[in-house]
């Protein structure tokens, strides 16, 4: 009996390992005329609906268009990336083993680069690993400024192709005080976790820097995914302020808009929703008119008119039957950064050039996107800077859109090189006094 237990033990254990080991020998080596991109985003869970799925759809759409050579100028020169067909691997950011999945994409799937990560926590976990496994990695969405300020201060393989969260709060504060210069009080309702806490801290610091003495009437921190905001809305109504700030997203955002609008909060005060754009088409006429909304950059309805935006909007609508939102724009921005840098580094050669030369090209890169020109401006050329825009929601002719839009230049909403976001805000926006 004992002997049999032992045999079974070994059959089970070794069988498993050999099965796993063998299966990986089956994967073909990346061919020269292919460039393989590993994508990581939420494909399940609460963040999949508002962020993960629009990003995944965007990635599929853009990769297919590039491969067919259908993407508009200036990206209509070479098919795919530098003439090589783009192939993709997707992993779910909600798997619970993000770091292991990342290593798997790099080492088993042998991707040429990774584009991904919506959650800031995941970005913090992946950042040092990217430097360790020495594979080109582009963060496309996560917001925490800590990635380059704190976690990896001397990045080489890691880039972020979208602006970080400082832009959202500073943009919101600038819009509010430009639009209503006599604002004397603010209030906030943010989810009680890193994103909500950081957003509110940056927003209040920015308002204080722009107009000292603005009073905070109340700050509400309901827990994330609470879904019911009755008592918080009561607190906001009984402590009236000139403007209410919220960085809510997803189902929480929709619940807050519906419950707040029903109780007249939106009619009584200005409400600023920093991620409002991601829900505007879904909420449509349920979003009160005049709500100040942002898109975490000049994305979606805030994107400048042009052939790239027109193509993206139409192709997305045709294929998925809904409007593209900012995660779609942000992933497009990341794919185009990779395409620009690889083609710049390749010169006359075909396919994927040496990784080091791509990194050289990416550092300080300036490239065109449906959201305008973006520049790898800070963190030694590894962190993108771009402007942003805020506007007021308007629903007309069955279309959700924005009016009273104000654009802000990158220098006005992002810290200069070598300065942390909060430090820059508290310094009174050093170098951006003219904004």
Partner 1 sequence: MNRRMDPTLVSLAAALPVLLVLGYALPDWLTFYLQVSLASGLAALAVMLQMRAGLVNFGQGLYYCLGAYAGGMSGHFLGITDALVLLLLAVVLSVAVSFIVGFLVARYREIFYAMLSLALSMILYGLLVRAEALGSTDGFNLPSTTFLGYAPEGQALREAGYVFTCIVALAIAAAVHRYLRSPLGAIGEAVRENELRVEYLGASPRYVVHLIYVMAAAIAGIGGVLAGISVGHVDPNLAYWTTSGQFVFIALLSGTGNVAAPLIGAFLLVMIRVYAVEYSPYTWQMILGGVMLLIIMFLPGGLWSLTRLRKKGGLT
Binding site for partner 1 (CB under 8 A): 1-6, 8-10, 12-14, 16-17, 19-21, 23-24, 43-44, 89-92, 95-97, 99-101, 103-104, 106-108, 119-121, 124-125, 127-129, 132, 144, 146, 151, 192-195, 197, 223-224
| Cβ count within 10 A of residue 319 | 12
Question: Given the complex with partner 1, which of 127 and 241 has the nearer CB atom?
Answer: 127
Task: Quote the least distance from Cβ 207 to partner 1, whole Å.
Answer: 20
Closest by CA position to 34, among listed 91, 74, 79, 101: 79
Task: Quote the least distance from Cβ 225 to partner 1, whole Å.
Answer: 11
Residues 6+ apart with CB under 8 A from 34: 84, 85, 86, 87, 351
Q: Where are the beta strands (DSSP E) in 63-173?
A: 85-92, 113-116, 137-139, 158-160
Task: Quote the least distance from Cβ 92 to partner 1, whole Å.
Answer: 6
Question: Given the complex with partner 1, which of 193 and 395 has the nearer CB atom?
Answer: 193
Question: Given the complex with partner 1, which of 46 and 344 has the nearer CB atom?
Answer: 46
3-state DSSP: the chain helix, strand, coil percent, rounded to 5?
Answer: 45, 20, 35
Q: How far apart are CA 240 and CA 237, in angstroms?
A: 5
Please identify which residue in the block is written with the tokens 């963040």: 47
**C-alpha 358: how far from its chain's center?**
22
Question: Given the complex with partner 1, which of 34 and 131 has the nearer CB atom?
Answer: 131
3-class secondary structure, 219:
strand
Task: Quote the least distance from Cβ 128 to partner 1, whole Å.
Answer: 6
Question: Given the complex with partner 1, which of 192 and 285 has the nearer CB atom?
Answer: 192
Task: Quote the least distance from Cβ 13 to partner 1, whole Å.
Answer: 6
Question: Given the complex with partner 1, which of 12 and 267 has the nearer CB atom?
Answer: 12
Q: Which residues of 157-196 are buried (b: 16+ CB within 10 A; e: fewer)?
A: bbbbbbbbbbbbbbbbbbbbbebeeebeebbbbbbeebbb
Task: Quote the least distance from Cβ 142 to partner 1, whole Å.
Answer: 9
Residue 98 CB-half CA count within 13 A: 23
Question: Given the complex with partner 1, which of 74 and 128 has the nearer CB atom?
Answer: 128
Task: Quote the least distance from Cβ 259 to partner 1, whole Å.
Answer: 22
Question: Given the complex with partner 1, which of 171 and 196 has the nearer CB atom?
Answer: 196
Distances (CA, A) of 152 to 2, 139, 156, 334: 52, 13, 9, 20
Contact criterion met (CB below 8 Å) for 200 and 190: yes
- Specify the DSSP class assigned to residue 81: B
Closest by CA position to 222, among listed 254, 176, 190: 190
Closest by CA position to 369, among listed 74, 52, 63: 74
Task: Quote the least distance from Cβ 44 to partner 1, whole Å.
Answer: 6
Question: Given the complex with partner 1, which of 252 and 313 has the nearer CB atom?
Answer: 252
Task: Quote the least distance from Cβ 101 to partner 1, whole Å.
Answer: 7
């Amino acid at each position: 009996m004992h002997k049999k237990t032992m045999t079974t033990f070994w059959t089970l254990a070794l069988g498993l390992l050999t099965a796993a080991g063998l299966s990986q020998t089956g994967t073909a080596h990346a061919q020269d005329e292919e460039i393989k991109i590993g994508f990581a985003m939420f494909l399940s869970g609460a963040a999949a609906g508002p962020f993960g799925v629009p990003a995944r759809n965007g990635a599929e759409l853009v990769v297919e268009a590039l491969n067919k050579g259908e993407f508009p100028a200036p990206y209509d020169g070479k098919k795919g990336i530098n003439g090589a067909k783009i192939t993709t691997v997707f992993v779910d950011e909600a798997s619970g083993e993000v770091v292991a999945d990342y290593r798997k994409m790099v080492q088993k799937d042998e991707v040429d680069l990774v584009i991904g990560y919506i959650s800031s926590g995941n970005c913090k976990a992946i950042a040092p690993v990217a430097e360790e496994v020495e594979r080109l990695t582009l963060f496309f969405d996560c917001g925490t400024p800590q990635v380059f300020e704190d976690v990896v201060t001397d990045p080489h393989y890691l880039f972020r192709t979208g602006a970080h969260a400082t832009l959202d709060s500073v943009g919101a504060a600038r819009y509010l005080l430009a639009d209503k210069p006599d604002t004397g009080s603010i209030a906030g309702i943010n989810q009680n976790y890193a994103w909500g806490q950081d957003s509110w801290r940056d927003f209040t610091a920015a308002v204080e820097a722009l107009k000292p003495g603005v009073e905070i009437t109340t700050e509400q921190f309901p827990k994330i995914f609470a879904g019911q905001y009755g008592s918080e809305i009561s607190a906001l109504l009984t402590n009236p302020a000139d403007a209410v700030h919220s960085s809510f997203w997803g189902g929480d955002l929709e619940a807050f808009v519906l419950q707040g609008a029903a109780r007249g909060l939106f009619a009584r005060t200005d409400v600023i929703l920093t991620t409002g754009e991601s829900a505007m088409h879904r909420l449509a006429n349920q979003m009160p008119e005049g709500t100040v909304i942002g898109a975490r950059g000049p994305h979606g309805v805030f994107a400048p008119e042009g052939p790239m935006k027109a193509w993206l909007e139409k192709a997305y609508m045709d294929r998925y039957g809904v409007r593209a939102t900012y995660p779609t724009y942000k992933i497009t921005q990341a794919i185009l950064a990779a395409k620009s840098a690889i083609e710049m580094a390749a010169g006359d050669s075909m396919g994927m050039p040496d990784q080091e030369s791509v990194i050289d090209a990416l550092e300080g890169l300036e490239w065109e996107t449906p959201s305008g020109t973006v520049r790898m401006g800070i963190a030694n050329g590894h962190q993108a800077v771009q402007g942003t825009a805020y506007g007021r929601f308007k629903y007309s002719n069955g279309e959700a859109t924005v009016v009273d839009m104000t654009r802000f230049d990158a220098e006005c909403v992002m810290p200069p090189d070598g300065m942390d976001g909060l430090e820059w805000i508290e310094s009174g926006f050093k170098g951006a006094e003219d904004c």
